[in-house]
Copies of this chain bind each other. A is one copy, B any other.
Amino acid sequence: MSKSEIQANFSGNALLANVVIVLSHTSHPGNIGAAARAMKTMGLGELRLVNPDVFPSDIATARASGATDVLESAKVFASLKDAIADCVYVVGSSARGREFAGQAMNVRAACGEAVAHTSSGTVAIVFGCEMSGMSNAEVAHCQTLAFIPTNDAFSSLNLGAAVQVFAYELRMAAGLSDGYAAAAFQPATQAEIEHMFEHLETALVACDFYNPQRPRRLFARLRRLFSRTRLEREEVDIFRGICAAVIAQSRTR
């Protein structure tokens, strides 16, 4: 990682440290565990629970699959009002629109807003209960209502899956979009590639596939193919080895 990448990761993680996930009136402890796992994979650590039906729970711990620290540090509140008392901005996740919602936008736009507000304090993303979502009274506490775009005919995401999508978009909005890169091999130079084409022509003449008097579009086609692949030096060497073998073979006829 370069110094600037390390700095970007440091500041991205600092932004995410100001985001809390609030699950209100969750019925199934498995979903609390799945949410904890989803949060931790994306670098979120603070889970708040409003009146969960069952918590703590072995089912939640099993589904958290290693994110037990998130579960163990989760705080339980009696109401959404209490859970978000210290927050400067609250996004509610809702599958359907509500009459008195302040503003509505998709999860990508909402996570962008949420991360922007982390500069002024703690930001909450709130998820209602599995069956009916947030109550209207809970919606009234949210500045923004956010939806995950869905198939009109089948719009019901699992709660853990919804938390995963929001957590992923929060990470992307915080600028933490990197992972691994493709393995870096030495690219071939244009001169090496030209030598390969010369070698290839000799080989294709030797095996009677190509007649320079009637070239048609063969080499134009081959050049088009290889120009798209950004050839590596080792690959050029492989092709030249094959050409050499074909030429040697043709001499033994």
Contacts and interface: CB of A to CB of B under 8 A. Distances in A.
Interface residues of A, number: 47
B103 A182 contact: yes
Contact of A182 (B37, B104, B151): B104
- A-B pairs, 4 with minimum CB distance: A97-B180, A147-B179, A104-B182, A43-B151
Interface in A21-56: 34, 37-38, 40-43
Interface stretch (A79-87, A156-164, A191-199, A245-253): A156-164
Interface in A50-71: 65-67
22 contacts: A37-B157, A41-B155, A41-B156, A43-B150, A66-B154, A67-B154, A97-B183, A98-B183, A102-B182, A104-B180, A104-B182, A108-B172, A108-B177, A148-B168, A149-B168, A149-B172, A149-B177, A158-B160, A160-B161, A161-B164, A164-B164, A165-B168
Given A149-B168, A149-B172, 7 more contacts: A34-B161, A38-B158, A40-B154, A41-B154, A99-B183, A101-B183, A149-B178
A100 interface: yes
Contacts of A155: 41
